[in-house]
Amino acid sequence: MPRQLLAFDLGAESGRAILGQFDDNRLELRQLHRFATGATAVLGRLYWDVLRFFDEIQTGLSAAAADGGDLGSVGIDTWGVDYGLLDADGALLDNPRNYRDPRTEGVMERGLARVQRQQIFAATGLQFMPINTLWQLLSMRETESPQLTAAQQLLMIPDLLHYFLTGERACEFTNATTTQFYDPRQRRWSTELFDAFDLPPRILPDIIQPGTRLGAIRPEVAANCGLPRIPVVVPATHDTGSAVAAIPAHGGDFAYISSGTWSLMGAELQEPNVSDAALRYNFTNEGGVGGTYRFLKNIMGLWLVQETRRTWQSQGRDRSYAELTEAARQAPAFGALIDPDDGRFMPPGDMAARVQEFCLETGQSPPQSEGAVIRCILESLALKYRWVLERLEEVLGRRLEPIHIVGGGIQNKLLCQLTADAAGRQVVAGPAEATAAGNLLVQALGLGWLDSVEDIREVVRTSFAPRCYDPAHDGERWEQAYRRFCRFLPGEIPD
């Protein structure tokens, strides 16, 4: 009989309980429970409601119990950078803030006036983004937060949820590397950086590797959910770490995009790259399964489409993602373009208005129809992927092909085709559920059912059929669009 595992995969929009049935060769997935995870705004602050998340996780566990069958283990993945603080009694001091919370505005710039950018990058290898955990903590230090004074331990969001499940506290490696105070070469927390910013090293937990057996679910959780005390095996708790583990690639000369709310584009390395070129282009080194590193850049991704749709819904214009994509397909190609990573697109809000504002500021005729707005966003994302691919190949000194795209974003077939067209490379799309598959198969690795990352990828190749997209024959028009697009990037005017 197939062996069963349970993954909880939480993203910025929703969370799911995914049951995996594994027969040593193939993995089958089935969703047992789904719930909303969006941020909660209170008094000008943006929070994650982690206690509700934990309640939903127990609902998912109860659904697994009702489904029957023995679970080998359970594990949780979420996004990176966000955290909760515990007091001396192990109690949560406050609901964790969402990384889009305005408290970090200007903090990174002030921090870089105290400690040089080169020094921080040499110590952490992480790209500079105001959402990083380091700047969130520094914002608390700047305001003399009593919570930071009282805190005895920091746990990243998936580690916090694992703590609620087991009572055990540790920080899993792939999420630790998103903080901008983990040293990838020393393979430890950068306490020197903590000292430089007057942050308390006492809050830093032990670091464990993906596949570690953390413990068993607590007796009261087991009783409440109708389960025995099943093991908790931590996956790559950063969702992109789980997704990259499940890329059905052969060899190492491929690029990847984990496509969802964010697009994370990079290559897989055996050692971190902290070169001057990596710093110049603001690449990051995040941990992967098997001691690997995800050398990548964060790109704003489908957040722009999600927020556009949400705003239009609030105005009574309710459109499904499929309807918006079809409208974009019908809209004229090669119209106005934006830099998806312009700072105005980070906070929640009316993205269509911001797209039009960007276009007016850059001397372009702004898109007016719904289809034209979405087409502008998708073509701009595809061109940003090409820009990042070229920088990756420049820094690493090798050609990367094909481009593997995994995650929910592959359901946007138009974006997949535009990516192949813009980059002039074959795109291999799938699986859509790479994060859940990676979560489950890393659990299998931790239980000894698999032996390596290559074993994981072989199971993925056997279990999920990809879809391939070849570049269309309009390369000259894309070249013209790319030269125009690059003019909107800071300091990037092509020859």
Q: In which band, very low, low, confident or very high, does the pLDDT at 115 lie, cut at 50, 70 and 90?
A: very high
Q: What is the pLDDT of residues 34-44, one digit of tens each?
A: 999 999 999 99
Q: Is 9 a catalytic residue?
A: no
| Residue 445 located in a structural domain | no
Distance of CA 159 to the CA centre of its chain: 16
Cα–Cα distance for residue pair 158/217, rounded to 1 Å: 15
Residues above pLDDT 90, as percent of the chain: 97
Examine the domain organization and report whether 300 and 337 are in the same domain: yes
Range of the domain at 417: 249-430+465-495
Mean pLDDT of 333-352: 96
- The dihedral through the CA atoms of 152, 230, 33, 226 has a sign that is negative
What local confidence, expressed as pLDDT, does residue 470 receive? 97
Q: Which of 9, 77, 239, 421 is catalytic?
A: 239
Mean pLDDT of 307-318: 96
Q: Is residue 474's pLDDT more than 90?
A: no
CB-based contact 20:29 (threshold 8 Å)? yes
Examine the domain organization and report whether 198 and 107 are in the same domain: yes
Tokens coding 91: 């109690």
What local confidence, expressed as pLDDT, does residue 438 receive? 98
Examine the domain organization and report whether 61 and 95 are in the same domain: yes
Q: Is residue 331's pLDDT more than 80?
A: yes
3-state helix vs strand vs coil in the chain, percent to 5: 45, 20, 35
Examine the domain organization and report whether 256 and 131 are in the same domain: no
| Residue 254 located in a structural domain | yes
Q: What is the pLDDT of residues 443-462, one digit of tens each?
A: 999 999 999 999 999 999 99
Examine the domain organization and report whether 16 and 145 are in the same domain: yes
The helix/strand/coil state of 326 is: helix
- 215 DSSP β-pair partners: 232
Examine the domain organization and report whether 281 and 158 are in the same domain: no
Tokens coding 270: 């055996």
Cβ density class 39-48: b for 16+ within 10 Å, e for less: beeeeeebbb
| Residue 204 located in a structural domain | yes
Rg (CA), the chain: 22
| Residue 19 located in a structural domain | yes
Under DSSP, the state recorded for 205 is P
Last residue of a domain, one of 205, 233, 261: 233
Q: Hunting for tokens 């903080």 — which residue is that? A: 179
| Residue 438 located in a structural domain | no
Q: Is residue 491's pLDDT more than 70?
A: no
Residues above pLDDT 70, as percent of the chain: 99
Number of structural domains the chain divides into: 2
Examine the domain organization and report whether 192 and 280 are in the same domain: no
| Residue 76 located in a structural domain | yes
What mean pLDDT is reported for the chain?
A: 96
Last residue of a domain, one of 182, 200, 233: 233
Q: Is residue 236's pLDDT more than 50?
A: yes
| Residue 296 located in a structural domain | yes
CB-based contact 320:74 (threshold 8 Å)? no
| Residue 216 located in a structural domain | yes
Examine the domain organization and report whether 179 and 253 are in the same domain: no
Examine the domain organization and report whether 13 and 77 are in the same domain: yes
What local confidence, expressed as pLDDT, does residue 13 receive? 87
Distance of CA 478 to the CA centre of its chain: 28
Last residue of a domain, one of 233, 263, 290: 233
Examine the domain organization and report whether 381 and 415 are in the same domain: yes
Q: Hunting for tokens 């464990």 — which residue is that? A: 208
Mean pLDDT of 172-179: 98
Q: What is the pLDDT of residues 202-218, one digit of tens each?
A: 999 999 999 999 999 99
CATH number where 302 lies: 3.30.420.40
Examine the domain organization and report whether 23 and 117 are in the same domain: yes
Which pTM value belongs to this model?
A: 0.92
Q: In which band, very low, low, confident or very high, does the pLDDT at 473 lie, cut at 50, 70 and 90?
A: confident
Q: Is residue 495's pLDDT more than 50?
A: no
Mean pLDDT of 99-128: 97
Examine the domain organization and report whether 135 and 268 are in the same domain: no
